[in-house]
Amino acid sequence: MSTPKTLKEVIKEEYKKCLVDPIYFMKKYVKIQHPIRGTISFDLYEFQEKALTDLVNNDFNIILKSRQMGISTLTAAYSLWLMVFHKDKNILCISINQETSKEIVTRVRFANDNLPSWLKVKEQEDNRLSLRLTNGSQIKAVSSAGTSGRSSALSLLIIDEAAFIDNIEEIWLSSQYTLSTGGRAIILSTPNGVGNFFHQTWVKAEAKENKFNTIKLPWHLHPERDQSWRDKQTELSGVKGAAQECDCDFATTGNGIVDTATIDFYKESKAKDPVEMRGLDHGYWIWEYPDYSRNYIVSADVARGDGADYSAFQVIDVESMTQVAEYKGQLGTKDYGNFLVSVSTDYNNALLIIENANIGWAVLQQVIDRQYPNTFYSSADLQYVDVERQLTNKINRDEKKMVPGFTNSQKTRPLIISKLETYFRERSVEVRSKRFLDELSVFVWDGNKVAAMKGYNDDLVMSMCIGLWVRDTALKLRQQSMDLNRSMLGGITRIGGTQTVYKAQSVSSAEAWQMSTGKFNDKKESLTWLL
């Protein structure tokens, strides 16, 4: 007969079980506050047990979750386990505001207060936003404002509702120094559209491009929920709200100017790799070579010059509404101007539309100096645009105070964005570029304005906006001119081969990529290096 264990021995065994098995600890000793049932034991569901195992086994975890899955409670219980069974643990909770971030601290405090006396570690310091135990472990709640990620060395960083924090990139960057001594991190949130830090980190984690382990917790993992419950959420919150709150669906959430279903349609059925990628940076993508029986528009957005954005242009077939070429890069103004002239000349002396804001004037000046014959002019206040005369090269620059280029202002920006939205909603434009569609997916409403999400660019999108707006205006004003242009394209010859390429007798491709230097004997400089 074995000797009965003393109380001290029993407590020691239980303590060891709790130390090595946090699931056991939580199920047997952790109490939580249920909104209806009051104080109850934390009886973990199967999906919560699996999530907890991941938290223990991985230093960095990102959790994409539905609402009301008990993950905040699980995170609090995990924090308590770290604090009770390990000395000098420093835990920091960050959320949108202090009220939200303190919820985890409140749950930790409640669970600690309800531990049996032999397990409970006495409190050394306790206030609304922090809790310090006598073993040196502590947890603190702060808002996302200011320098919240900067602290002494952290054992665990918890960022709650990460997809809704504006300055989360700064928080994460500042926290790297405090986590460098072996700290852990848990980033959790419901989705809030694509392109933000949370979405970007999740996508990279799925692709194994960062150090985060992924934990996805959609609504149907909860054993107390069924389809009727899900249908009720749609009634209460709408399709978009329910997708965000329940489905862990990045695509259906957010405030994109073009809906995700349309973008997915283009990615799946229209997007394709270019037939050729040119340039030192391979930034010039071509899907169709010039056909000199057709009319083209080249619409260009110009980089600000601070290195944070890009110059970009679209080449659009006017009649078929097809994207035939595209560029995105960071050429200097002179080189970019030369590049635009050469490409536009290549594409049948295309109507060249250049945004004339700020540094755009330097690009326009280079185009004017090259005496390109088909540059877009508009009135100074953009009340008048004679596209018909533009496309037939008959514009009188003195008419209506005409100025070179397109003015993207507070007045015109909503117009051109609205035109983009219309064309894509009707799916009447043929777009091939995957990188353009990636930009379009993060082109969202931000209050009363539309812009790329923080950390992203919209250069390709804006160049497309300009091109579609001018093209639409052209269709209303220039049918006669189009027919006239077509009749004037006599004397063209078709080049043999598999590609349908037409070559005008008057302008060779080689000449398009030559620039006069103004020197003796009209010496020309080759621009083919741009390719």
CA-to-CA dists, residue 261 to 72, 200, 253, 256, 464, angstroms: 32, 19, 11, 11, 20
Judged against a pLDDT cut of 70, whether residue 383 lies above it is answered with no
Asked if 528 and 513 touch (Cβ cutoff 8 Å), the reply is yes
- Work out the average pLDDT over 94-115: 90
Q: Please, which residues have CB within 8 angstroms of residue 14's CB and are 6 or more apart in sequence?
A: none
Distance CA 312, CA 462 (A): 9
Tell whether the model's pLDDT for residue 289 goes beyond 60. Answer: yes
pLDDT, position 487:
39
Among the listed ranges 43-52, 216-225, 518-527, which one has the minimum average pLDDT value? 518-527
Q: What local confidence, expressed as pLDDT, does residue 297 receive?
A: 94
pLDDT tier at 269, thresholds 50, 70, 90: very high
How confident is the prediction for the chain on average, in pLDDT?
83
Band (pLDDT 50/70/90 cuts) for residue 479 is very low
Domains and CATH numbers, the chain: 17-246 (3.40.50.300), 276-433+456-515 (3.30.420.240)
pLDDT for position 335: 92
- pLDDT, position 384: 45
Q: Which of 31, 28, 29, 63 is nearest to 48 (CA)?
A: 63
The pLDDT of residue 234 is above 80: yes
Of the CA atoms within 13 Å of residue 327, those in its CB half-sphere come to 27
- Amino acid residing at 177: Y
> How crowded is residue 325: how many other Cβ atoms within 10 Å of its Cβ?
27
Give me the amino acid identity at 18.
C
Look up residue 530 and give its two tokens: 């741009």
Q: Predicted confidence band at 494 (pLDDT cuts at 50, 70, 90)?
A: very low
Tens digits of per-residue pLDDT, 495-509? Answer: 334 443 333 334 456
Distances (CA, A) of 453 to 147, 194, 256, 257: 22, 9, 10, 12
CB count in 10 Å sphere of residue 127? 10
CA 247/CA 66 separation, integer angstroms: 6
Q: Give the largest CA-CA distance in the chain.
A: 115
pLDDT band at 492 (very low <50, low <70, confident <90, very high): very low
Looking at residue 254, its pLDDT comes to: 61
Give the pLDDT score at 274: 96
